[in-house]
């Protein structure tokens, strides 16, 4: 069933709020700037139909200067005094124009998609030469959440087609060619459901693994302490409202699990249950740093980076791009301070 474009929770009810400023009452009126659209895709319809129905990408080439633009954002070449450009199919491979960026705080309509990577790809013409322009695409990885280092300037990529194409630019996205098998690389079009997206647990640890399990035990102890504090804090409890997740945290020193349910956290060393989400961290001391900061407040000394940053930097790897658990956990330290559970 088709989903509403604006989620009901984003739509305000009629209402007027009174706010006191400098002793005087002022009004805030709930409202919307409402314009529904049947937005014409015009001359771009052919390009989007090609993505949707043929799973092929084309650009426009100027017969005079030979520039090839992808996407075909115009039909005439201004430097050649608006010479008519010609349709030309390109390959579904190319290279990154630059390292992609990773959005953590997104516009309203994209906030449930973070973290997401976006970058520009110079797609290849049939003769192997790069297009003159680079196309903005979402970039994804099969190795957990998107993070720096997976893509760089010049990284060869393959365009992948979504199975739920609607005739729009988000029908496609890029993956690094290095993450694909030779058979996947050779296939055109390559569909999203032909790729194994759950390879994160196979990813090898990088660097030297900490040998002792004492750090992990400390992480478990502090996580339990945090869970106790959450029980006493109305704000922290509210941070976990309407959220259920079973999470397994894996590190080279071992694993433990925790469950978020009923506005509470339960920590367990038994990791046999199938998790909704997997966190992988090479050095659990970093997690201990965050937990100490969260449970000891301002007196803990230098603050640990928020968990969000650990995910964005790739220190904490998730098996799927779902930040909600992380952002909710990140709110807890502040809530504990505001409820004076810690100072």
Partner 1 sequence: MRDVAIVGAGMTPCRSRWIEKTFWELAQMAVAESVRDAGIHIDEVEAGVAGIYNDIFEFQAIPESGLQGIIGMQNKPLLRVSNGGATGGYAMLAAHQMVASGQHDLALCVGVEKALDCYDFEAESPTPAVVQTIGYSWDPWFERPLGAHATESYAEVVQAYMDEHPGDLAPLARARIAEMLSTYARNNPYAQRKNEQVTAQQVLQSRYVVYPIRALETCVYTEGACALLMASGDKAREIQKRTGQGPIWITGAAAANEPYFVGSDISRYKVLHRIYSDELATRKALEQARLRIEDIQVMELHDAFIPQLMITLAEMGVVPLGRANDLVEEGLIMPGGKYLLNPSGGLTFGGHFVGGSNMMSAWSVRRELLARNLEHGLIHGTGASLSMYAVVMILERRN
Interface with partner 1 (CB under 8 A): 7, 9-12, 19, 21-22, 24, 26, 28, 30-31, 33, 39, 41, 44, 48, 67, 69, 71, 73, 79, 97-111, 113, 116, 118-120, 122, 130, 132-138, 148, 152-153, 168-170, 302-303, 305-306, 308-309, 312-313
Residue with Cβ nearer partner 1 (47 or 223): 47
CB of 277 to partner 1, least distance (A): 20
Cis peptide, bond prior to residue 189, ω within 30 of zero: yes
CB of 62 to partner 1, least distance (A): 10
**Which residues lie below 8 Å from residue 342, measured CB to CB, with a gap of 6+?**
229, 294, 295, 296, 297, 333, 336
CB of 101 to partner 1, least distance (A): 4
Residue with Cβ nearer partner 1 (13 or 212): 13
CB of 41 to partner 1, least distance (A): 7
Residue with Cβ nearer partner 1 (118 or 264): 118
Structure tokens given for 59? 């650009």
CA-based angle 276:281:287, to the nearest 5? 100
Residue with Cβ nearer partner 1 (118 or 268): 118
CA-based angle 97:46:6, to the nearest 5? 80
Cα 60 to Cα 66: distance, rounded to the nearest angstrom: 10
Contact in structure between 281 and 249 (CB atoms under 8 Å): yes
CB of 64 to partner 1, least distance (A): 13
Shortest CA distance to 279 belongs to which of 237, 323, 243?
323
Residue with Cβ nearer partner 1 (168 or 209): 168
């Amino acid at each position: 069933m088709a989903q509403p474009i604006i989620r009901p929770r984003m739509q305000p009810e009629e209402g007027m709020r009174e706010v006191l400023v400098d002793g005087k009452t002022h009004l805030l009126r709930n409202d919307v700037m409402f314009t529904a659209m049947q937005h014409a895709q015009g001359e771009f319809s052919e390009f989007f139909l090609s993505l949707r129905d043929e799973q092929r990408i084309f650009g426009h080439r100027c017969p005079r200067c030979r520039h090839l633009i992808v996407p075909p954002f115009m039909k005439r070449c201004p430097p050649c005094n608006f010479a008519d450009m010609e349709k030309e199919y390109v390959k579904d491979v190319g290279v990154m124009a630059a390292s992609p960026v990773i959005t953590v705080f997104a516009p309203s309509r994209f906030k449930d998609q973070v973290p997401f990577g976006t970058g520009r790809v110079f797609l290849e013409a049939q003769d192997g030469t790069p297009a003159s322009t680079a196309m903005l695409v979402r970039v994804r990885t099969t190795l957990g959440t998107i993070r720096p280092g997976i893509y760089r300037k010049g990284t060869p990529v393959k365009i992948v087609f979504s199975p739920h194409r609607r005739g729009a630019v988000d029908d496609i996205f890029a993956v690094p060619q290095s993450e694909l098998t030779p058979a996947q690389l050779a296939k055109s079009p390559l569909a999203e459901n032909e790729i194994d997206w759950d390879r994160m647990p196979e990813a090898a640890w990088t660097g030297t693994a900490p040998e002792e399990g004492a750090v992990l035990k400390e992480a478990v102890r502090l996580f339990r302490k945090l869970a106790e504090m959450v029980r006493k804090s109305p704000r922290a409890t509210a941070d976990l409202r309407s959220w259920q997740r079973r999470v397994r945290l894996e590190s080279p020193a071992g694993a433990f699990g925790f469950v978020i349910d009923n506005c509470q956290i339960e920590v367990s060393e038994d990791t046999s249950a199938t998790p909704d989400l997997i966190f992988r961290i090479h050095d659990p001391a970093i997690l201990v740093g965050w937990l100490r900061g969260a449970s000891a407040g301002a007196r803990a000394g230098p603050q640990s980076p928020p968990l969000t940053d650990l995910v964005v930097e790739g220190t904490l790897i998730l098996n799927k791009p779902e930040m909600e658990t992380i952002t909710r956990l990140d709110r807890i330290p502040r809530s504990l301070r505001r409820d004076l559970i810690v100072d």
